[in-house]
Amino acid sequence: MAKYNSFEEMQVYRKALKFATETYLLANKNGFIAKDFGLKDQLQRAALSISNNIAEGFERETIKEMIRSLYIAKGSAGECRNMFNFFNEMPYLSQDEFKFYKSELYAVSGQLGNYIKYLKNLEKQNKISRKTENN
C-alpha cells in the first residue's frame, strides 16, 4: 500500500471507475436494461461496488483490510460478468458490446487478483521481518 498515496493513483481503481461509468451509461441508454428497473439497479450497484470497495479498502490503511476489500471488489466484478452473460443470452447486447464489457471485466478482475497477490506477499514479508526483529 505504500506504493500509492491515494486510491485515485491506482490503475485498477481508475479502470474500475471507468467501467462503472460506462456501465451506468449503458444501463440508461439500452432500452431493455433501462426498462427493467431491478436489473438496472443491480447492474449499476455491482459495477460501482468494484471501485467503491477498492477505495474503502485503501482508506482502512491496513494490508489485511485492503485484501479483504479487494476480494469483495473481485466478487462484484464476477457479479457483473454474470449479468453481462445474462444480457448476452437474452439478447440485450450486440456481440461487440458483450465482448467489450466482458474484456473490461476480465482486465479489472485480473488486476485485482494481481494486486491481492502483491499485498499477500508484502504481508508475508512484513511478518517474516517482524519475527526476525523479535529474535
Within 8 A by CB and 6+ apart from 107, the residues are 15
pLDDT of residue 6: 94
Q: What share of the chain is helix, strand, coil (3-state, %, to 5)?
A: 85, 0, 15
pLDDT of residue 74: 98
Summarize the confidence of residues 75-86 as an average pLDDT: 97
Residues 42, 58: contact at Cβ < 8 Å?
no
- What's the full length of the chain, in residues? 135
pTM score, whole prediction: 0.88
Q: Around Cβ 38, how many Cβ atoms within 10 Å?
A: 7
Average pLDDT score, the chain:
92
pLDDT of residue 134: 55
pLDDT of residue 64: 93
pLDDT of residue 78: 97
